[in-house]
Structure 1
Amino acid sequence: MYTLSLDHYPPYCCYYLLLEVLPPSSLDPLNYNEFSRRTNKPTTRRRKTTIAADEDEPKSKGNAAFASGNFTDAVLHLTEAINLSPNNHVLYSNRSAAYASLNKFSEALIDAEKTVELKPDWSKDYSRVGAAYLGLNNYNDAILAYRKGLKIDPNNEVLKFGFSDAQSGQGRGRGPSSSFGDAFYGPEMWAKLTSDPRTRTYLQQPDFVRMMQDIQKNPNNLNLYMKDQRVMQAFGVLLGMKWDTRTPKEGVKMPGGSPERKRRAESEPVKEEKRAGYKAHRVPQPEPVEVSEEEKELKERKVLALKEKEAGNAAYKKKDFENAVQLYTKAIELDDADISFLTNRAAVFLEMGKYEDCMKDCDKAVERGRELRSDYKMIARALTRKGTALVKMAKISKDYEPAIETFQKALTEHRNPETLKKLNEVEKAKKELEQQEYCDPQVADEEREKGNQFFKEQKYPEAASRYTESLRRNPKDPRTYSNRAACYTKLGALPEGLKDAEKCIEFDATFAKGYTRKGAVQFFMKEFEKAMETYQAGLTYDPQNQELLDGVRRCVEQMKKTSRGDLTPEELKERQAKGMQDPEIQNILTDPVMGQVLADFQENPKAAQKHMKNPLVMNKIKKLISAGILQVK
């Protein structure tokens, strides 16, 4: 772990030095604006330019592309922004920096001069012009540009650094340079010294830094500092030599000759840098794209808005709804580009029972979200919340229709299981409420009487239709279910008739007609055993009911006929096939105990006598006889 003091370097140099030395991940909280803020005078004048929404998006994309090193895309996006706002000097300044990063210094110069034309009192303009001239090796014009900028802002370190660099380049162009001058020039010198553990600690020593800065300005001054071992060590690092500055007094053994001779033997030949590389080192990198005052203010407002939102969330959890509304309102005023503030306030209004206010916030969130192209999930959340408010306000079945429509819209934005569940619940509630609203016992009686008349006229389909309408008006009338069951029986729709008969018994277990209807359907389905049970159940409520007694008699006759085998082969086969479909019959036949009982009836009469004394066994035997599976001869 080491500490690098930046107090002796201009911010421009320090920023690119750190980019060379530190890993990118460690630079997340570090940006050029922080260096400029530490060294430049704070800007007291606040620009009041309003950035249009159409211009803001390509500008942001251009800034992001520049920050990621994609300068070509940065130029494209900034050009698009300039087309939308041709008088915005910040956009020209940013594109000039992007062109300079692509080594397109002519284009960079054009944009820089346009920036000066639009904003001549802005010092940043002249740093762009100077950087472009440096890239074109036009040192005289670069010096003039930096001088103009320094007249506007004399303490601007970026301009000072550029001015010094232009003067150094001008000096190199006029006179002979040191053979080692390139090694001491540019930010790469500081990067090499920082990355090498032998010279890293020297950078914390002000006198060493001053000497290196002097040598960097005039490499010929190297001779003045040759006696300083730190300078010699740095000289070796910059030239890529294995340089050992320790003296014999330090206890270093030098076998085979003097230290000077040993160093000469171990030193490697210095490779001359190419002209292209030299040029790249001489040209300062363009400054990072600056953030406008509007963007800075916007970021600050976003941070404050998020804090208000968090406070609102805390108040909501405590059920302090009035305070939560105020906090969310502040967040909305600070940043109207985050629709979650609106949906959160809508949730509070929903809890407070202020459904109209809730829906207004939801509508605003949807409208604003579509303008900003917000996440579909956020828009779906707003629609779901509005649908919930509509459900709370519903009084009649028609009131549910807007809620259903809103939930369906939310599902088209994002298919959320919770929203789908709400939709199903609302549709069910609407149907139930419609049934309640449609219910009218008086009209139901009229429709039932119409059905009875059609039944007497043997117009069974018309009768069934009238009974159905009667049940819609009064769905709990057992008489109507009984009548429609009889109608279905006449039409041969036995399963439907059985359902209506069971429904009749469900609503009134003491109503004998329900048992006679059910028993009749079961008898026609040749389920005589079940029909017998149904008739007997009805007799417990009405023992003298003649229809029930007649039903029992008919079932007994059919069961005796089956047990005697008085059925035609076709009837017997049909009865057996139907019996085998009965799960109860299947269980009896697969029961190993009953299998042994049936075997004893055929082979062991004494054992059969014992089985006949068991009521459970005899009950199962009767079922098999009734189903035609077992015959008694």
Structure 2
Amino acid sequence: MSLSADEYKQQGNAAFSAKDYDKAVDLFTKAIEVSETPNHVLFSNRSGTYASMKKFNDALKDANECIEINPTWSKGYNRRGAAHFGLGDLDEAEAAYKKALDLDANNKAAQDGLAQVHRTQEARSAQPDMGLSKIFSDPNMIENLKKNPKTAEMMKDPQLVAKLIGFQANPQSMGAELFSDPRLMTVMATLMGVDLNMPDLSASNSMPKEPTDAANEAAPTTEEAKPAAAEEAKPAAAAETPAAQEPEKMEVDEEDKNKVAADAAKAEGNKAYKAHNFDEAIAHYNKAWELCKDITYLNNRSAAEYEKGDYATAIKTLEEAVEQGRDMRADYKLIAKSFARMGNSYYKQDDLPKAIEYYQKSLTEHRTADILTKLRNTEKELKTREAEAYINPEKAEEARLQGKEFFTKGDWPKAVEAYTEMIKRAPEDARGYSNRAAALAKLMSFPSAIEDCDKAIEKDPSFIRAYIRKANAQIAVKEFSSALATLDEARTKDSEANNGANTKEIDQLYYKASSQRFQPTNSNESPEEVYKRAMQDPEVQRIMQDPVIQSILSQAQSDPAALQEHMKNPEIFSKIQTLIAAGIIQTGRR
């Protein structure tokens, strides 16, 4: 899992303190990449690290980026001054440090850096350069040396090229190198147009075998400048590195020192929280917030207040967290956490609408499965409570009588409304669903009528009227097999609960469903055609293949009364009725 920008930054500071500059650069780079918004401090810290590595061009690039993000932050100009100083650009370094002091007159690093620049400028002025400034002022110097046959080969060495670039910025610094590298004598002679009758040293053993970083060679050394009178040949430009070369303690100045202290207070708060010492935890979180404005500390404080049962205070703390977080452009995940905890607090106060509101706000900031589940459960609970609060048997009876009146008048829509009100007032009364199903059937809304009948049967499995109304609706939508199954179930329940009081109505409806199921397309069908058509039905095929039915049909041919006796069995009755409806068994009714 990737870390936050702040976590990468802290690790980068630690790597810098350990002088592991490559690692520090990598960590600050990662912090820059994951930061929600451009962060000037991160570019400042990486600039300081590059300066410590003497990669002054990279340091300058990051310093400029830091200033572009926050032009009012004086420390960014410290970074620019340090980078220019490292490159030997004293005038630019001086301007940068002066700008830092304009923004913050008490900026100690800028004061020291400016003083250092002035000392170096004075040292340069105090030393004669023997005309070197004029020689090295030619912007085409490097290209001319590369083209000159005497120096062309040695100019392929990047180390030598880096030295010459450094001398262009600071000619006086050449003094110490002139006699230690014979190639420089050839270069000087070429630049001055003097023939020293020296052999070509481009292939001499003095040439380094391995090139080094040109930027490092061009960088100033760490010695302090001394007056020219004290050290005759000592180059002034090699005198000092800028005072701000240490990246201002990598912003571990006040900002990060406070952050470290705040995190320590937070850790103590966490210990107290786990030990259920919530007042102590709150005190530690308050200290952390005072040291560093990170809304994580407010979120933690609210958790302790929540555990104390002080939900109103927790909500106020979280409101402050959201307000401050918006101003500071805090991570949206932290804002989401604040809203979620506000939802939890309102839930504990039994204010479900408010809890739902803040769970929704949390999900708007950052969608998580946990908060989504809480939202859905709370919405469901609120709906259940509202439904329970609405229950009133007396009002339900009033609605039932009103629905009956509308039904009798043929006002089916009003009847549906009245029965719906009855259901809300008495959700466990099966009559409301059954009565509404009857009204819906009149409106030709058969699928909805079937659903209501199922609900009525669920509430009261012995409510036969619901079965009958369901079967009627199923027949209307030509679900004949389903209608027959419903009527079989109705017959069983009627026998158990009512001693078969509704048998006649059930049988008539059963015959209606069965006959419509096998309704012939041609009224003049021959018995053979009827039989052929009927045998195409899978259910008829299964019945005719049943050995028991085959035996009964064979017996009925010689003793028709035996068939009536067998039909007292509900299962046999159902199968015989299907065969009668299909036309396999002829009766007088057909």
> Normalised by the shorter chain, which TM-score bucket?
0.5 to 0.7
Find the counterpart in structure 2 of residue 24 from structure 1: 22
Distance 1:475 1:589 in 2: 41
Distance 2:39 2:105 in 1: 23
Find the counterpart in structure 2 of residue 71 from structure 1: 59
Find the counterpart in structure 2 of residue 316 from structure 1: 273
DSSP 3-state at the match of 2:245: coil
- Structure 2 residue corresponding to 1:107, chosen from 88, 92, 97: 92
DSSP 3-state at the match of 1:415: coil
Distance 2:463 2:571 in 1: 33
Find the counterpart in structure 2 of residue 303 from structure 1: 260
Find the counterpart in structure 2 of residue 631 from structure 1: 584
Confirm or deny: 8 A CA contact 2:453 2:467 kept in the other structure: yes
- Structure 2 residue corresponding to 1:417, chosen from 361, 366, 369: 369
TM-superposed CA distance for 1:382, in Å, is 0.9
Are 2:429 and 1:477 equivalent residues in the alignment?
A: yes
Change (3 A) 1:26 1:137: same
DSSP 3-state at the match of 2:80: helix
Alignment of 1:112-511 (within 5 A): 112=97, 125=111, 128-131=114-117, 134=120, 138=124, 140=126, 179-180=179-180, 269-271=205-207, 283=238, 284-286=240-242, 287-291=244-248, 295-335=252-292, 337-394=293-350, 399-511=351-463
Change (3 A) 1:431 1:133: same
**Partner amino acid, structure 2, of 1:407:** Y
Distance 2:509 2:337 in 1: 63
**Partner amino acid, structure 1, of 2:179:** S
**Partner amino acid, structure 1, of 2:402:** K
Change (3 A) 1:293 1:96: closer
Distance 1:487 1:422 in 2: 39
* Post-superposition CA distance 1:335-375 (Å, at most 9, x none): 2x221222122223223322112211211221122122121
* Post-superposition CA distance 1:499-555 (Å, at most 9, x none): 32332233234444434434544565543453243134123212263xx13213314
* Post-superposition CA distance 1:14-56 (Å, at most 9, x none): xx9x98xx88349999xxxxxxxxxxxxxxxxxxxxxxxxxx9
* Post-superposition CA distance 1:256-297 (Å, at most 9, x none): xxxxxxxxxxx9532499x99987565354451552798524
Confirm or deny: 8 A CA contact 1:133 1:139 kept in the other structure: no
Distance 1:356 1:125 in 2: 50
**Partner amino acid, structure 2, of 1:269:** N
TM-superposed CA distance for 1:384, in Å, is 1.0
CA RMSD of aligned residues (A): 5.3
Distance 2:524 2:375 in 1: 53
DSSP 3-state at the match of 2:428: coil
Confirm or deny: 8 A CA contact 2:395 2:425 kept in the other structure: yes
Change (3 A) 1:104 1:277: same
Change (3 A) 1:571 1:413: farther
**Partner amino acid, structure 2, of 1:455:** F
Distance 1:177 1:501 in 2: 104
Find the counterpart in structure 1 of residue 505 from structure 2: 551
Change (3 A) 1:489 1:579: farther
Confirm or deny: 8 A CA contact 1:478 1:508 kept in the other structure: yes
**Partner amino acid, structure 1, of 2:64:** L
Distance 1:135 1:57 in 2: 34
Distance 1:122 1:552 in 2: 101
TM-superposed CA distance for 1:376, in Å, is 1.0
TM-superposed CA distance for 1:380, in Å, is 0.7
Distance 1:82 1:23 in 2: 25
Alignment of 1:606-621 (within 5 A): 621=575
Confirm or deny: 8 A CA contact 2:43 2:63 kept in the other structure: no
Change (3 A) 1:562 1:177: closer
TM-superposed CA distance for 1:453, in Å, is 0.9
Distance 2:535 2:337 in 1: 57
Distance 1:349 1:533 in 2: 59
Distance 1:309 1:277 in 2: 43
Find the counterpart in structure 2 of residue 244 from structure 1: none
**Partner amino acid, structure 2, of 1:551:** E
DSSP 3-state at the match of 2:410: coil
Change (3 A) 1:109 1:579: farther
* Post-superposition CA distance 1:435-455 (Å, at most 9, x none): 223333222222221111111
- Structure 2 residue corresponding to 1:62, chosen from 23, 31, 44: 44
**Partner amino acid, structure 2, of 1:100:** F
Find the counterpart in structure 1 of residue 33 from structure 2: none
Report the count of equivalent residues. 455
Confirm or deny: 8 A CA contact 1:59 1:77 kept in the other structure: no
Distance 1:114 1:557 in 2: 102
Confirm or deny: 8 A CA contact 2:467 2:487 kept in the other structure: no
Confirm or deny: 8 A CA contact 1:515 1:537 kept in the other structure: no
TM-superposed CA distance for 1:107, in Å, is 1.4
Distance 1:544 1:444 in 2: 30
**Partner amino acid, structure 1, of 2:579:** I
Give % identity: 25
Distance 1:385 1:80 in 2: 37
Distance 2:298 2:98 in 1: 45
Find the counterpart in structure 2 of residue 223 from structure 1: none
Confirm or deny: 8 A CA contact 1:75 1:99 kept in the other structure: no
Change (3 A) 1:80 1:424: same
Distance 1:25 1:476 in 2: 70
* Post-superposition CA distance 1:154-186 (Å, at most 9, x none): xxxxxxxxxxxxxxx99988x998732799xxx
**Partner amino acid, structure 2, of 1:180:** S
Change (3 A) 1:100 1:542: same
Confirm or deny: 8 A CA contact 1:321 1:352 kept in the other structure: yes
Change (3 A) 1:313 1:278: closer
**Partner amino acid, structure 1, of 2:59:** F
Confirm or deny: 8 A CA contact 1:387 1:406 kept in the other structure: yes
TM-superposed CA distance for 1:80, in Å, is 5.3
- Structure 1 residue corresponding to 2:83, chosen from 98, 117, 125: 98
Change (3 A) 1:60 1:171: closer
Change (3 A) 1:116 1:351: closer
* Post-superposition CA distance 1:556-580 (Å, at most 9, x none): 65488689x885648999xx99999
- List gaps (5 residues or longer) in structure 1: 1-15, 30-55, 143-168, 184-239, 241-266, 607-611
